[in-house]
Amino acid sequence: MTRHLYVHLPFCAHRCGYCDFVTVVGRKAQHDAYVDALLAELALECELLAPDVETIFLGGGTPTFTALHALERLLVGLPSAEEVTVEANPETVTQELARMLRGLGVNRVSLGVQSFQPRLLTVLDRVAQPDTVRRAFYHLRDAGFDNISFDLIYGIPGQSPADLESDLGEALALGPEHLSCYELEAKPGTRFTYEHGEGLVRQADAMESYFELVVATLTGNGYRWYETANFCREGDRDLRSRHNLAYWLGRDYLGLGIGAVSTIEGRRWRNTPRLRAYVEQLEARELPAREHEPLPVDVQLRERVMLGLRLDEPLSVDGLGDVIDLSALERLERLGLAVRSNGSLALTARGRMLGGGVTADLLA
């Protein structure tokens, strides 16, 4: 039984060059059928879901590109939850949409901002312009959203440190509750890598300091660097993404929709990424085709370490002894990258900057 539900809405107006998610361009006609299929999968799997769901996350694709009535039907059909997040692209956020989301129990929106520079947005194939972002943000605020997150991308080809500072400044000026900052990855097989991959390699060294700049700027402006790529405003409310925290704390989650991954009780599966097959199988009230991955205990423990060390809170090493290399840990401590204290393990700020390599070192 899990209290965390992910729902994948793959539809997009177009595919951005850097994206390697499971997305489906256009196909307005299929939105209804897809939502039916999602609700059917939910019905088939309902015994995996606890009665009191804590978080729901609608990710994409562009969930807010989904036909409004279809999205509405979906939200009505989902259980209620303490935190319900929807990802949105700025150009899709109208007053009407904002009100509808708020009215149907959504209380958190993650806005795909990426950058405030028109030039860089073009490189990323993004449609929204800086003003579109601001308008979307105000529509959401007007509709009563008091928990808004921005996605920002840094390391865009042609982005200078001044560009990045300016992006961070523009974002801070709006005062979102939460920020996710990702370095642009040239993922193999994407159009973007084909067009810009060499440029990224060329500027890789120059961009090494960008991550430091992001962390320094945001923490300097009252944000908590609570996960490798995530920041939330400090204050009375805990504004961390509760849904994503569930992943990082190694909790179970159920994922619905094409390409969605679930992890429940030591089993992980991934739904077929093929829209038609998914819809047809669920029309027949059958579970969609899935790729199963068994998770032996030691793999689960490794994942606990890998995910736990992304957080700013110390990781309890209780029961993790077998998967941690103690001599490596000592070495990392001497290098000032990791700290141990009564049964828990944390990375220092520099250790977190090097989190990937440090984690690889630590794992036995």
Partner 1 sequence: MTQDRIRNFSIIAHIDHGKSTLADRILELTHAVSSREMREQVLDTMDLERERGITIKAQAVRVDWKGHQLNLIDTPGHVDFTYEVSRSLQACEGALLVVDAAQGTQAQTLANAYLAIENNLEIVPVVNKIDLPQADPDAAAAELADLIGDDPEHVLRISAKTGAGVEDVLDAIVERVPPPAGDADAPARALIFDSSYDQYRGVVAFVRVVDGRFSTREPLRAMALGTRFEAEELGFFSPTRSATRTLDAGEVGYVITGLKDVSRLRVGDTLTSESRPAAEPLPGYKEVKPMVFAGLFPTDSDDYPELRDALERLKLNDAALFYEPETSQALGFGFRCGFLGLLHMEIVRERLEREFDLDLLVTAPNVAYRVKPPNEDWREVHTPSDMPNEIEEVEEPYIKASIIVPKEFVGVVMELNNDRRGRFDHLEYLSEERVHLTYELPLAEIVLDYYDQLKSRTRGYASFDYDVIGFRPGKLVRVDVLVGGESVDALSLIIHRDSAYDRGRALVERLQKEIPRQHFDVAIQAAIGARVIARETVKARRKDVLAKCYGGDITRKRKLLERQKAGKKRMKQVGMVEVPQEAFLAVLNLDAEKK
Q: Which residue ranges make up the site for partner 1 (CB under 8 A)? A: 6, 59, 182-183, 185, 208-212, 228-229, 244, 247-248, 253, 255, 259-261, 263, 268, 270, 293, 299, 302-303, 306-307, 310, 331-332, 334-335, 337, 352-361, 363
Q: For residue 55, give every residue at least 6 positions away whose Cβ sits within 8 Å of its Cβ, in sequence order, or none.
A: 3, 4, 5, 81, 82, 83, 84, 85, 242, 243, 246
For partner 1, the closer of residues 1 and 360 by Cβ is 360
Closer by beta carbon to partner 1, 130 or else 199: 199
Q: Is 101 exposed, middle or buried (0-12, 13-18, 19+ CB in 10 A)?
A: buried
| Closest to partner 1 by CB, 57 or 223 | 57
Q: Which residues pair with 344 in a beta bridge?
A: 316, 341
Residue whose C-alpha is closest to residue 110's, from 35, 59, 153: 59
CB of 8 to partner 1, least distance (A): 8
Minimum Å gap between C-beta 155 and partner 1 is 9
Contact 2, 238 (CB under 8 A): no
CB of residue 53 to partner 1, shortest distance in Å? 15
Orientation angle between helical segments 161-174 and 130-142, nearest 10 degrees: 20
Shortest Cβ distance from residue 324 to partner 1 (Å)? 12
Q: Which is nearer to partner 1, 138 or 211 (CB)?
A: 211
Between 65 and 225, name the residue whose CB sits nearer to partner 1. 225
Structure tokens at 352: 């977190």
- Please state whether beta strands 223-227 and 148-154 pair in parallel, antiparallel, or not at all (unpaired): unpaired
Cβ atoms of 322 and 297 closer than 8 Å: no
Residue 350 burial (C-beta neighbours within 10 Å; 0-12, 13-18, 19+): middle
Give the residue with the Cβ less far from partner 1, 143 or 254: 254
Is the Cβ of residue 169 or residue 356 nearer to partner 1 in the bound state?
A: 356
Cβ closer to partner 1: 91 or 227?
227
In the complex, least distance from residue 350 CB atom to partner 1, rounded to whole angstroms: 8
Q: Which is nearer to partner 1, 212 or 283 (CB)?
A: 212
User: Partners of 153 in the beta sheet?
Assistant: 182
Q: CB-wise, 137 or 154, nearer to partner 1?
A: 154
CB of residue 199 to partner 1, shortest distance in Å: 18
Give me the least distance between CB of 68 and partner 1, in Å please: 26
